Structure 1
Amino acid sequence: MKGATTIQERLWDLRKEKGLNLEELAQLTKISKSALASYESKDNKEINHGNLITLADFYGVSIDYLLCRTENREQVNTPLTELHLNDEMVALLKSGRINNRLLCELATHKDFIKFLADIEVYVDGIASMQIQNLNSLVDTVRHEIIERYRPGEDDPYLRILQAAHIEDDEYFSHMIQDDISAVVRDIRAAHKSDSESAPSTTIAEELKQDLEDVANFKGSPLEKQAALYCKRLGINYNKLSDAEFRQLVHILEKSKFFKSYVGQRKKRK
């Protein structure tokens, strides 16, 4: 997950929030569909100044927000004193050492408040006394049973009482871990389609698919091997000219992993 949003991503996000396709947005803003598409393209370098104002007004955001100079749509120029952040936190947020975008998503998740509340309960020791009281009660009952009935160490009731003993550190560790795990899973799911996220298929699965495709490829053993290399390199084998193919084979023959076959590639008709 990237720490900063690009202008192209912001324009795409805003359009998707409105539930519009490019054609609908073009009709509403009077900006051509091709221009809008280019603004959301990774190769886009600049946006017409007039169109920039039009889009900012249409989405109800500032130009600074549209240009990713700020992450604030509504809370613009909020005084720092209202945020109740100490100097260390302000310095950290300004340092670029952490992913502020991810931090914002964590803090604004619907279950993050529960996560902080559980941490606060643990840090303040609010529940520790109650847990200790419960443990004392369990220990008292256990000792009373031992004194009265003299059961063996393997007695199931004694073992149940022993298992009922709660370690507050372990208890809160599990609870806090469950809280943050749920939050992180949701954020991960929300970014599953991001280009920076890991692919859903493994390298082994991709290679297996490539091998199956090449096995069905009609051509000489040399062509099949070259086709496999092309697939792994993301090259469209069918678009190679005969000259390009010969150059490719010449380069691949320098590899100890490439087996050369006698024969020539058939000319395309």
Structure 2
Amino acid sequence: MELSIQERLKDLRVERGLTLEQLAEKTHLSKSALGSYEGDKLKDISHYALIQLAKFYEVSVDYLLGRAETKNHPNADLTDLHLSDDMIGFLKSGLVDNPLLCELATHPDFPRLMADLEIYVNGIAAKQVQGANAIVDAVSATIMKQHNPGLTDPQLRQLIAAHIDDDSFCRYVIQQDINKIALDLREAHKDDFFSVPEDNPLEDFLQTAEETASPNSDPEQAAMAFICKRLKLNYGKLSDEEKKWLKRIAQKSDLLKNPNPQRGRK
């Protein structure tokens, strides 16, 4: 969820453990002005105050104004990131939750995942495993030739079990890496306010669509009925004025602008 200017300013101050009095002393801005900047009703911030706060917090003015999401690298050059055109297009497409992708890539175990994936893709581990398997096979052949044990012999069975399927082993290691990261991300967001609802929105939509389906049904009214279903409101009991306001409010909703489900943010 995109942070407001007030939230960004307050978060930056809290991150540094500062009170409004301490921030006023360090920035030479008045406490009352700083408090108003973080208040529910945002007052106009002067250019001077914006520049002072951006300098003090070491962020860009664009970040404070909500025009950028990066605090420490506001002017990063795309060429320095070595991203392909396809990757840039993918990140701008809205097909994935970019904040979640960022959390995935900055997880402490992500470099290990990438290293294991690189080993698998380049076939490095396969050669090593194949060499180990060759040693096991040679020992097994020697035992079979010298002692001719049965296939149920415990020592022979141990050697057979030691033979590694390099492809399955590498994919298992990668899966373990992903599982650890996924569990950590899920734990980090277990208390998010906007979580997946327990009920099924698709089921609600289909039910509402069935209820409002008729040759003369109004698509706009059906959409409003669906929204009321999600808000647990009885659309039929709303007054004309309430329906009018509901329509105006719904048109401002990000959920209607972007129907793709978004993971919650604290």
Greater mean alpha carbon deviation, residues 5-14 or residues 114-123: 5-14
1:192 to partner: Cα distance: 4.1
Return the TM-score normalized by structure 1.
0.61
1:32 to partner: Cα distance: 3.9
Quickly say closer, same or farther: Cα 1:145–1:118, change in 2 above 3 A: same
The residue number in structure 2 matching 1:48 is 45
Between the aligned partners of 1:161 and 1:37, the Cα distance in structure 2 is 72
SS of match in other structure, 1:166: coil
Is the counterpart of residue 182 in structure 1 residue 180 in structure 2? yes
The residue number in structure 2 matching 1:90 is 88
Conservation of the 8 A alpha-carbon contact between 2:7 and 2:38 = yes
- Percent identity reads 51
Quickly say closer, same or farther: Cα 1:146–1:24, change in 2 above 3 A: same
Count of residue pairs brought into register by the alignment = 198
Greater mean alpha carbon deviation, residues 104-113 or residues 58-67: 104-113
AA matched with 1:169: D
The residue correspondences of 1:97-136 to structure 2 (distance < 5 A) are 97-136=95-134
1:197 to partner: Cα distance: 4.5
1:45 to partner: Cα distance: 5.6
AA matched with 1:58: F
Q: Deviations over 1:39-79 (max 9, x none)?
A: 556x5566534554443233121111112321333433333
Between the aligned partners of 1:31 and 1:97, the Cα distance in structure 2 is 44
SS of match in other structure, 1:19: coil
Q: Deviations over 1:213-268 (max 9, x none)?
A: xxxxxxxxxxxxxxxxxxxx9xxxxxxxxxxxxxxxxxxxxxxxxxxxxxxxxxxx
Quickly say closer, same or farther: Cα 1:192–1:162, change in 2 above 3 A: same
1:36 to partner: Cα distance: 5.5
Quickly say closer, same or farther: Cα 1:111–1:49, change in 2 above 3 A: same
Quickly say closer, same or farther: Cα 1:61–1:151, change in 2 above 3 A: same
Is the counterpart of residue 67 in structure 1 residue 60 in structure 2? no
Conservation of the 8 A alpha-carbon contact between 2:59 and 2:74 = no
Q: Identify which of 134, 142, 150 aligns with 1:144.
A: 142
The residue number in structure 2 matching 1:213 is none
AA matched with 1:116: M
AA matched with 1:20: L
Quickly say closer, same or farther: Cα 1:104–1:128, change in 2 above 3 A: same
SS of match in other structure, 1:165: coil
Return the TM-score normalized by structure 2.
0.61
Between the aligned partners of 2:96 and 2:36, the Cα distance in structure 1 is 31
1:106 to partner: Cα distance: 2.1
The residue number in structure 1 matching 2:258 is none
